[in-house]
Amino acid sequence: MTKYVFRSPSRYIQGAGVIADLAKETEAIGKSPLLIADEVVWEITEESIKESYKDSEIEFDFEQFNGEASTKEIDRLADAGKEHSSDLVIGVGGGKTLDTAKAVSDELGIPVVIVPTTASTDAPTSALSVIYSDDGVFEGYKFYDKNPELVIVDTAIVVNAPLKLFASGICDAMATLIEVKATLKRNGNAMAGGKPTLASLAIAEMAEKTLFDHGYSAYKSVKEGVVTPAVDAIVEANTLLSGLGFENGGLAGAHAIHNGFTAIDGKIHDLTHGEKVAYGTLVQLVLERKTEKEILKYIEFFKKIDMPTTLKDMHLEEKSFEDLIEVGKLATADGETMENLDPEITAEQVANAILAVDALSK
Give me the active site residues, please. Answer: 172, 255, 258, 273
| Cβ-contact 271, 308 below 8 angstroms | yes
Residues in Cβ contact with 152 at an 8 Å cutoff, skipping those fewer than 6 apart: 12, 13, 14, 18, 19, 21, 22, 25, 113, 114, 115
| Cβ-contact 127, 8 below 8 angstroms | no
| Calpha distance 145→242 (Å, rounded) | 20
Q: What is the 3-state secondary structure (H, E, C) of the chain?
A: CCCECCCCCCCEEEECCHHHHHHHHHCCCCCCEEEEECHHHHHHHHHHHHHHHCCCCCCCEEEECCCCCCHHHHHHHHHHHHHHCCCEEEEEECHHHHHHHHHHHHHHCCCEEEEECCCCCCCCCCCEEEEECCCCCEEEEEECCCCCCEEEEEHHHHCCCCHHHHHHHHHHHHHHHHHHHHHHHHCCCCCCCCECCHHHHHHHHHHHHHHHHHHHHHHHHHHCCCCCHHHHHHHHHHHHHHHHHHHHHCCCHHHHHHHHHHHCCCHHHHCCHHHHHHHHHHHHHHHCCCCHHHHHHHHHHHHHCCCCCCCCCCCCCCCCHHHHHHHHHHHCCCCCHHHHCCCCCCHHHHHHHHHHHHHHHC
| Calpha distance 152→147 (Å, rounded) | 13
| Cβ-contact 172, 305 below 8 angstroms | no
